[in-house]
Structure 1
Amino acid sequence: MITLFEQESGALNMAKLSGGQAIVKVMEREGVKKAFCVPGESYLGVIDALYEHPDIQLVATRHEGGASFMAEAYAKASGSTGVCMATRGPGAANLSIGLHTAMQDSTPLVALIGQVERPFKGREAFQEVEFTAFFSHLCKWTVEIESADRIPELLHRAFYMARSGRPGPVVVSLPHDMLEETAEYIERHIQTEQVPEPSEDAVREVLERIRAAERPVVIAGGGVTRTKSADLLARLAEKLNVPVVTAFRRFDAFPNSHSHYAGWLGFGSEQGLLDYIKDADLIVALGTRFSQVTTQDYTLLGEQTELIQVDVCPDSIGKVYAPALGITADVKRFLEKALDMAVPAEEQEKQQALQRLHAAYLAFSSPPKDYEEQHVDMDGLLHDMVNSFPSDAILTSDAGNFFGWLSRYYRFDRQGTYIGPTSGAMGYGLPAAIGAKMACPDKMVVSFSGDGGFMMTVQELETAARLQVPVIAIVVNNNMYGTIRAHQEKHFPGRVVATELSNANFAELAKLFGCYGEQVRKNADFLPALEKAKASGRPAVIEVLTNPEILSASQLKTVQPNAERVNK
C-alpha cells in the first residue's frame, strides 16, 4: 500500500488532504526530520498524519518546556529550523519558555499549537487562549490558520519567517476542527532567504578604520555562531592584528586558545579585559545585539569609543549604542569580503597588546588542579573536564552559580561546541543536550546543571532512556538556588529565605529511569565516574557534591567539611 507521503509531489497537487495531512506535507517539504511534543487532543490530526510518515520522527517528551528546549537546541546543533508542538492553553503556556529562549538567542523555531474549535472561540472555551496576543512579544510572528486551504501558504511563510533575517520563533495556531476538514492541497514554492551583502565601499571603510585605530576590539556574537564563521573571523583577526572577544554565551564564536582571543563577556568577566574595552577607540560588533549581560548593564562602551556594527537585521543596529557606521549584512558574507580585501597589518604596538590580552586571558582561565576529599572542588572539576573532554564535545548548560566555573575555565576551540540560553533559562541543560545529541549522534554531548535547574526538567531523563539518547548530565549539587543565595548574602546578609533546597540522590534517581548514575563526593572520583558513564552507552547522571559555602569561581575558598547536606 502506498501511503500519502510516498506519492510523488506532482500527484499530490490538487489532491484532497485533511488539515493535519497538509501540515505534515509542508513539514516534509521544509526538510523537517524531528518534531518535539507533548501530545494533545487539539492537534491529533497532525499527530495522526505523522503516524505514517517514513522520515519525520515525532519525539514525545514529558513536559512542553522540555519539548521546546529540545527543539531549540536541535536547531542550534543541526543548523535547521526546530519544530515543537503542544496542545492549547496549559500546553502552550508551558511551551513558551523555550520560545522566549529562541527569541533571545535568535534561533529559528516553528511552534505548532492546537487551538479550540473555530465556532467556540471567544466563549472562554475549554483551555482557550488568544495565541496571537499571548505570543506577540515573545515571537517574530504569530498566525492562526483559519482554513485548511491556506495551510501551504501560511505554514511555508512561517518557516521562512523563522529562518530569515534575524532568525527566531514563530507560533502557528491550529484550530482543532480546521485540522480535520479537507481541502485541495496546492503545492507552494519554498521561499529561499537572500541574505544581505555588504558593499565593497562599506567593507573598505571598516578596514581603514581598524587600520587607523590604536586600540580596536572585535566583539563576536550570535551572527558568527549561527553562520559558523569562527574560522573566517580567526583568519581576519590574524591578518589585521586585532583582538577578539566573545559576547555572552557565545564562547565558540572564536577559538579560545587562539593567540588573538582576549576573553568573553558576561557574568564574572576579567576586569582587565573590561577596562581595555572601555578604553578602546574602536569596537567592531559582529552579529551581537549588545545584551544587558554582554554590556555589563549597558556600561561597556566608553564615551570616546567609535562603534561599527554589522548585523543581518537592521532593527538591531543602533538599538543599544549608536554606531558611527551600521552595516546591514550577513556576518559570514561580510567576513568573506573583508578577508579578501584586507591588507596584512604589522604594527608592533598592536602585536604587543594582543600578547598581553591573550596572556591575561590564559592566566585568568587556567583552572588549578585543586582536589578536596570532603567535597568536589569546582576548580579541580573544571581542570579534569578541560583535560579529558574531546575537542568536539558539545556542552549545554543551565543558568546558575555553577556556570561561573564553566564560563571562566572551559575553552571552546571548535565552533558548534557550546549550546546555552542567553535568556538565562533554568532547566535548559538536560533537554538541550537531548536535542543536540539527536542532531549530532556521533559527538559526546554533556549537560552541565545545578541541582535547582536540573530538577526543573529531570523528567526528561525518561525521554532520553526511552529513545536511547546517551547524553551525560553533570549535576552540581549544593542544595540551594546558588545564584539567588549569592545575591541574598550580598544585599540582605544574614536573612536567608527561600533559597535552601533538599534533594534526592540524583544518581539513584537516574537508575530508576534506566540510566547510569553515580554520585561523586571527592575530585579523585570524577574521572573514573566519567569513564564508566561513557562506557555504559546509556543516558548518564554524574552528581557532584560541592561545598555550599563557595558560591562563585572568584570566591576565596574556605573548606567546610561538616557542612550539613541532605543527600540520602
Structure 2
Amino acid sequence: MNHMTAAQAIVEMLRREGIREVFCVPGESYLPLLDALYDEPSITVISARHEGGAAFMAEGYAKAKLMPGIVLATRGVGASNLSIAVHTAFQDSTPMIVFLGQVNQNFKGREGFQEVDLVQYFKPIAKWSVEITNPRRVPEIVGRAFRIAQSGRPGPVIISLPEDILPVKADMQFGPVTVVPRPAPSEREVASVEELLFRASKPIIIAGGGVKHAAAEGSLLSFAEKHSLPVLSAFRRHDVFPNNHRLYMGHLGLGTQKEVLETVQDADLILALGTRLSEITTQDYSIITPDKKLIHIDIDFDTIGKVYAPDVGIVADLKEALACFQVIEGDGNWQPWTLARRRAYESTSKLVITEDNVINKSIIAILRDTLPKNALLTNDAGNFAGWLHSFYPFCEKHTYIGPTSGAMGYGMPAAIGAKLAFPNKTVISLSGDGGFMMTIQEIETAVRYHIPIICLVFNNQMYGTIRMYQEMHYPGKVIATDLGKVSFKNTAIAMGAEAHQVDTAASFEIAFNQALKRHKVTVIEILTEKEAISVSTTISKLRGE
C-alpha cells in the first residue's frame, strides 16, 4: 500500500510501465497531475502548441517505440482538439493513452465550464473510454488502460479525470506491470496453412501493421525466403519488408501501379498477415476475389472475417505465428512467376531522372542517395506523398511512419515523436503546404526542446489531392482548393528554426546536405508547380486538354 494522491498514483503507474516521455497542452483541470510529473525526474513532459499536435507526437512516438504514447489535455475543448489523433490511433492500430481533465463531479450535468461527456464523446473512436470517480481505483484503471491499449489489436484508451479527484489522497495498491498476451496458432491451424500453401501455384503475402507491432519483420523475411513467397506491403506499412529484396512486389496504397495490382489479381492464394484488409489496401475492396483462397492471420478476433471470409482464419501474434510456421517444409513451383512479378514491380519503381522531370522525383532520388539506410521518414496526407511511396526504397525496419487514417497535419508532429523515440536516427518529415500549415506551430515545440527534425514542405499553393479529384469529376471548375502565398521559410525562421526555400533539385541538394550536417530543426520549402498534380497525371490531362 502507498498513501498518495490520485495524480501521484497516475504518475507512479506511468513510471512503472516504463514511460519516459509524455505530451501535453497544459490545462487548469489537471494541474495536480502536472505537479506530480514535476516531481518525477524519469519522465519528460513535452508541452506542445496545440492538442492535435501533441497527440500526433504521441501517436508517432508510439509507432516508432512500439509502446503506448501518452498525451494529456484539458476538458472538452482540449479533448476535441486532439480527437483527430485519437481517430488516427484507432484506424492505425496504435497504442495510446489519453488523460483528459474533466469538470468537478459536483458540476457535471449542469453544462459546466467546457463540459463534454468525454466517455461518450470518444466511445466510437477508442478501444475503451472511462472516467475515474474513485481515487483508490487509479492503479486498477490505469493498469487496465495499459493492457487494453497494447493487447489484441492496439489502439487508444481515454481516461477522464474529474478535477476534484486528482488531489485526493488514498491508499493505493499497485499490481504487476503489463504483460501483453502473445497467442500462437494451434498445430491444426499450422497444418491448414501448409495444406493451402502447397496447393497454390501463385501465392502472395500481404503484410500489414500487425507484423510491425509484433516486431516480426525478421521472422517474415525468413519465412518468405524459405518458401520463395512474394510479399506486398499494406497501405503505409512500407518498411514491413525490405523494398530492395527480390521477393518484394510493391505497396498497396493510393495510386498503386497496375503492375503491382496485377500481382494480386493473378494470385490464387493470399496470406494476409497482420492487416485488416482496409479499403485502401484492397483498392476499394476489389482485388481479393472469390476465386482466391485466403489465409488471414491477425491478433484481433474481430478483424478475421470482418471484410472477407477466410478459408483459414487464425487469431495470433504474428511473431508467434511465423515461429510456428518454421515446421513447414518444402517449396512450391512458383519461382518463375515470382521472378516475373518482381521484374514488373522494378519496371514501375525504377527512378529515372531526366531534365523534364518534376522536382518531386529528383528530391526522392536525392533522399535515396543521401540518407543513411536507417533514416526514418514520416509523411503527411497529400498527393506529394505519391512520389515517396512510388520511388523511395525502404530497406530497413523502423524507417517509415505514415497515417493510414489519411490525417492532414500529421507528418511533422509525428516526426517530433519519432525523433524522441529514436534520438540517434535522422528523422525527416514530408508535407504538403496544406497539411503543414495545420500544425506548423509545432516547429516552435521542436525548437524549444531541441528536437532536430528536417521538414520538407512541398508548396504548390493548393489542396492538391482534392484538386485532383475536383478536376477528375468537375474539370476546370476550381473552387475552395487554391491556397494563398505563404513563405514557410520565413515563418520557420521566425520560430527559431533554420530554413531554406528552393525551386530546383540542385538548390535542394545543397540545403539538404547542410541540414544533415547541422543537426538543427530545419524547414526546406520546395516550390512546385500546380500542373504536375500527381505521379501519374497532370491538370491538363485530367481536363482532356
- TM-score class normalised by the smaller sequence: over 0.9
Q: Residues of 2 paired with 1:230 and 1:391: CA distance?
A: 16
Per-residue deviation, residues 294-347 of structure 1 (Å, max 9, x unmatched): 111111112201111000011000000000110011011111111x21224162
Q: Residues of 1 paired with 2:538 and 2:136: CA distance?
A: 65
How far does residue 181 in structure 1 lie from its aligned partner after superposition?
Answer: 1.4
Q: Residues of 2 paired with 1:341 and 1:353: CA distance?
A: 25
1:343 corresponds to which of 329, 333, 339: 329
Q: Which residue of 2 aligns with 1:389?
A: 371
Q: Which residue of 2 aligns with 1:171?
A: 158
Q: Residues of 1 paired with 2:499 and 2:62: CA distance?
A: 28
How far does residue 369 in structure 1 lie from its aligned partner after superposition?
Answer: 1.6
Q: Residues of 2 paired with 1:535 and 1:143: CA distance?
A: 47
Structure-to-structure mapping, 1:182-197, within 5 angstroms:
182-197=169-184
Q: Which residue of 1 aligns with 2:484?
A: 502
The answer to whether the Cα contact below 8 Å between 2:358 and 2:532 also exists between their aligned partners in 1 is no
1:471 corresponds to which of 425, 432, 453: 453
**Letter matched to residue 297 of structure 2:** V
Q: Residues of 2 paired with 1:287 and 1:153: CA distance?
A: 30
**Letter matched to residue 32 of structure 1:** I
Q: Which residue of 2 aligns with 1:78?
A: 65
Q: Which residue of 2 aligns with 1:215?
A: 202
**Letter matched to residue 340 of structure 2:** R
The answer to whether the Cα contact below 8 Å between 2:427 and 2:454 also exists between their aligned partners in 1 is yes
Q: Which residue of 2 aligns with 1:284?
A: 271
Per-residue deviation, residues 207-257 of structure 1 (Å, max 9, x unmatched): 221111011111000111112222211221111121111100011111111
How far does residue 556 in structure 1 lie from its aligned partner after superposition?
Answer: 5.8
Q: Which residue of 2 aligns with 1:368?
A: 352
Q: Residues of 1 paired with 2:46 and 2:315: CA distance?
A: 37
The answer to whether the Cα contact below 8 Å between 1:88 and 1:114 also exists between their aligned partners in 2 is yes
How far does residue 536 in structure 1 lie from its aligned partner after superposition?
Answer: 2.3
Structure-to-structure mapping, 1:295-314, within 5 angstroms:
295-314=282-301
Does residue 14 (structure 1) correspond to residue 2 (structure 2)? The answer is: yes
1:62 corresponds to which of 40, 43, 49: 49
Q: Matched residue of 2:159: which SS?
A: strand
Does residue 243 (structure 1) correspond to residue 225 (structure 2)? The answer is: no
Q: Residues of 1 paired with 2:126 and 2:237: CA distance?
A: 21
Q: Identify if the C-alpha distance between structure 1 residues 370 and 154 changes in structure 2 by more than 3 Å, giving closer, same or farther.
A: same
How far does residue 185 in structure 1 lie from its aligned partner after superposition?
Answer: 1.7
Q: Which residue of 1 aligns with 2:466?
A: 484
The answer to whether the Cα contact below 8 Å between 1:429 and 1:448 also exists between their aligned partners in 2 is yes
Between the aligned residues of both structures, percent identity stands at 48
Q: Residues of 2 paired with 1:280 and 1:150: CA distance?
A: 52
2:419 corresponds to which of 437, 441, 453: 437
How far does residue 557 in structure 1 lie from its aligned partner after superposition?
Answer: 9.5
Does residue 148 (structure 1) correspond to residue 135 (structure 2)? The answer is: yes
The answer to whether the Cα contact below 8 Å between 1:371 and 1:377 also exists between their aligned partners in 2 is no
Does residue 547 (structure 1) correspond to residue 529 (structure 2)? The answer is: yes
Q: Matched residue of 1:533: which SS?
A: helix
| Count, aligned residues | 541
Unaligned stretches of 5+ residues in structure 2: none
**Letter matched to residue 255 of structure 1:** P
My pick for the range that moved more, 450-459 or 302-311, is 302-311
Q: Residues of 2 paired with 1:200 and 1:395: CA distance?
A: 39
Q: Which residue of 1 aligns with 2:393?
A: 411
The answer to whether the Cα contact below 8 Å between 2:208 and 2:240 also exists between their aligned partners in 1 is yes
2:404 corresponds to which of 417, 422, 425: 422
The answer to whether the Cα contact below 8 Å between 1:376 and 1:522 also exists between their aligned partners in 2 is no
The answer to whether the Cα contact below 8 Å between 1:224 and 1:332 also exists between their aligned partners in 2 is yes
Q: Residues of 2 paired with 1:238 and 1:18: CA distance?
A: 54
Q: Residues of 1 paired with 2:289 and 2:228: CA distance?
A: 22
How far does residue 425 in structure 1 lie from its aligned partner after superposition?
Answer: 0.2
Does residue 530 (structure 1) correspond to residue 517 (structure 2)? The answer is: no
Does residue 512 (structure 1) correspond to residue 494 (structure 2)? The answer is: yes
**Letter matched to residue 514 of structure 2:** K
Q: Identify if the C-alpha distance between structure 1 residues 79 and 28 changes in structure 2 by more than 3 Å, giving closer, same or farther.
A: same
Q: Residues of 1 paired with 2:358 and 2:383: CA distance?
A: 15
Q: Matched residue of 2:182: which SS?
A: coil
Q: Matched residue of 2:524: which SS?
A: strand
Q: Residues of 2 paired with 1:98 and 1:279: CA distance?
A: 37
Per-residue deviation, residues 36-78 of structure 1 (Å, max 9, x unmatched): 0000000011000011111000100000001110001111111
Unaligned stretches of 5+ residues in structure 1: 1-12, 560-568
How far does residue 488 in structure 1 lie from its aligned partner after superposition?
Answer: 0.3
My pick for the range that moved more, 267-276 or 24-33, is 267-276
Q: Residues of 2 paired with 1:376 and 1:281: CA distance?
A: 38
Q: Residues of 2 paired with 1:537 and 1:119: CA distance?
A: 51
Per the normalisation by structure 2, the TM-score is 0.97
How far does residue 368 in structure 1 lie from its aligned partner after superposition?
Answer: 1.8
How far does residue 127 in structure 1 lie from its aligned partner after superposition?
Answer: 0.3
How far does residue 361 in structure 1 lie from its aligned partner after superposition?
Answer: 1.2
The answer to whether the Cα contact below 8 Å between 1:279 and 1:305 also exists between their aligned partners in 2 is no
CA RMSD of aligned residues (A): 1.4
Does residue 328 (structure 1) correspond to residue 315 (structure 2)? The answer is: yes
Q: Residues of 1 paired with 2:476 and 2:177: CA distance?
A: 60
2:252 corresponds to which of 255, 260, 265: 265
Q: Residues of 2 paired with 1:65 and 1:370: CA distance?
A: 40
**Letter matched to residue 148 of structure 2:** M
The answer to whether the Cα contact below 8 Å between 2:201 and 2:332 also exists between their aligned partners in 1 is no
How far does residue 503 in structure 1 lie from its aligned partner after superposition?
Answer: 3.1
**Letter matched to residue 374 of structure 2:** D
Q: Which residue of 1 aligns with 2:39?
A: 52
The answer to whether the Cα contact below 8 Å between 1:370 and 1:377 also exists between their aligned partners in 2 is no
Per-residue deviation, residues 157-178 of structure 1 (Å, max 9, x unmatched): 1111101111100000000001
Q: Identify if the C-alpha distance between structure 1 residues 502 and 91 changes in structure 2 by more than 3 Å, giving closer, same or farther.
A: same
1:359 corresponds to which of 315, 318, 343: 343
The answer to whether the Cα contact below 8 Å between 1:395 and 1:448 also exists between their aligned partners in 2 is yes
Q: Matched residue of 1:458: which SS?
A: coil
Q: Residues of 2 paired with 1:537 and 1:272: CA distance?
A: 40
1:100 corresponds to which of 78, 87, 96: 87
**Letter matched to residue 353 of structure 1:** W
The answer to whether the Cα contact below 8 Å between 1:239 and 1:342 also exists between their aligned partners in 2 is no
How far does residue 273 in structure 1 lie from its aligned partner after superposition?
Answer: 2.4
Does residue 380 (structure 1) correspond to residue 362 (structure 2)? The answer is: yes
Q: Residues of 1 paired with 2:455 and 2:206: CA distance?
A: 31
The answer to whether the Cα contact below 8 Å between 1:519 and 1:542 also exists between their aligned partners in 2 is yes
Per-residue deviation, residues 85-143 of structure 1 (Å, max 9, x unmatched): 10001100011111111111111100000000001000000000001110001100000
Q: Residues of 1 paired with 2:539 and 2:214: CA distance?
A: 41
Q: Residues of 1 paired with 2:339 and 2:507: CA distance?
A: 37
How far does residue 427 in structure 1 lie from its aligned partner after superposition?
Answer: 0.3
Q: Residues of 1 paired with 2:131 and 2:409: CA distance?
A: 29
Q: Matched residue of 2:158: which SS?
A: strand
The answer to whether the Cα contact below 8 Å between 1:140 and 1:168 also exists between their aligned partners in 2 is yes
Q: Residues of 2 paired with 1:235 and 1:68: CA distance?
A: 35
